[in-house]
Amino acid sequence: MQHQFAAFIDDLKATHGKNLAAVLLYGSAAAGDFVREHSDYNILIALHKIAPVDLRNAHACMREWHKMGHPIPVYFTVGELQNAADVFPIEFHQMEKARKVLYGTDVLEGLKISDAFLRHQVEYELRSKLILLRRQYIPASASVEGLTNLMAESLASFAALFSAVLLLQGVEPPAKKHAIVALTVQQLGLNGITFEKVFNIREKNFEARLTDKSANELFAEYMEQIEKVIDSVDAVGKN
């Protein structure tokens, strides 16, 4: 990826010139937790100012980056980063925990993250992803492969939210998904075996292929554990 990052940054420098303040890699790749089939390279681009013309000019380099299978980066102005930290506490805590500066300065250094709205955002995101998981299960349940892919691909999103759940519990979360989930299991008294099985599917460590029956049973257990996490977050709001 070093070659792709270097080429992408050269394109960004040519596109934005002196307006480009920083390019940061965050998430699983920055944490050393990357799984090629299921992880993304998450990029934050900070400009000094953002006008429609700046985004329009980025079309060519974003098209090439996206063609390689990577998600479109998020754009912020340097000034917005401080102001947005209280609105998106989950995302900024993730960036605070695991990031690498690919270009420019570390625009997140010393960022003050307010947790005033953290519980509300965590519950909203968890419930939204659970609703989406239920919807996706309907077509995925037609095959074992579809069902295992759904669990494997959804686990990263839930693990990221579990990191914020730990913050609500007053516990400093680790950077890597395995450790985040293990600590959440410990804190909330969940069934860790369920998550271990999904991790094994995600990382292709499982030895025996799941049957239709066992795949559906695992999904039911997986959904039940997520519902317990949501109940714990809801309880924080009522205390």
In this predicted structure, what is the pLDDT of residue 175?
84
The CATH number for 170's domain is 1.20.120
Confidence class for position 206, pLDDT limits 50, 70, 90? low
Could you tell me if 123 and 166 lie in one domain?
Answer: yes
The number of folded domains in the chain is 2
Q: Which amino acid is at 220?
A: A
Three-state SS annotation for 123-190: HHHHHHHHHHHHHHHHHHCCCHHHHHHHHHHHHHHHHHHHHHHHHHCCCCCCCCHHHHHHHHHHHHCC
Confidence at residue 225, expressed as pLDDT on a 0 to 100 scale? 97
For residue 208, what is the DSSP state?
S
- CATH number for 17: 3.30.460.10
- Give yes or no: residues 98 and 125 share one domain: no
Q: How far is CA 62 from CA 7, 26, 176, in A?
A: 12, 18, 28
Contact at 8 Å (CB) between 90 and 122? yes
Over range 83-87, report the average pLDDT. 78
Q: Give the pLDDT of residue 90.
A: 81
Q: Are residues 7 and 85 in the same domain?
A: yes
My answer on whether 162 and 214 are in the same domain is yes
Say what the pLDDT of residue 39 is: 57
CB 183 within 8 A of CB 168: no
* Per-residue pLDDT at 36: 63
Residue 110 lies in a domain: no
Reported as a single tens digit per residue, the pLDDT across 116-163 is: 788 999 999 999 999 999 999 999 999 999 999 999 999 989 998 999
Residue 149 lies in a domain: yes
Q: Are residues 130 and 188 in the same domain?
A: yes
Same domain, residue pair 96 and 42: yes
Q: What is the pLDDT of residue 190?
A: 97
Q: How far is CA 151 from CA 4, 46, 137, in A?
A: 29, 33, 9
Among 63, 81, 104, which residue terminates a domain?
A: 104
DSSP state of 107: T
Identify the domain containing residue 156 by its residue range: 118-238
The pLDDT value given to residue 124: 94
pLDDT of 197 > 80? The answer is yes
| Pair 88, 179 in one domain | no
Has residue 92 got a pLDDT over 90?
no
Dist. CA 145–CA 139, nearest whole Å? 11
Query: Are residues 77 and 142 part of one domain?
Result: no
Q: In the chain, helix, strand, coil percent, each to 5? A: 65, 10, 25
Position 35 confidence tier, pLDDT thresholds 50, 70, 90: low
- Picking from 198, 227, 26, 239, the residue whose alpha carbon sits closest to that of residue 123 is 227
Residue 113 in any domain: the answer is no
Specify the DSSP element, H or E, that contains 73. none
Residue 184 inside a domain? The answer is: yes
Q: How many CA atoms lie within 13 A of 104 on its CB side?
A: 24
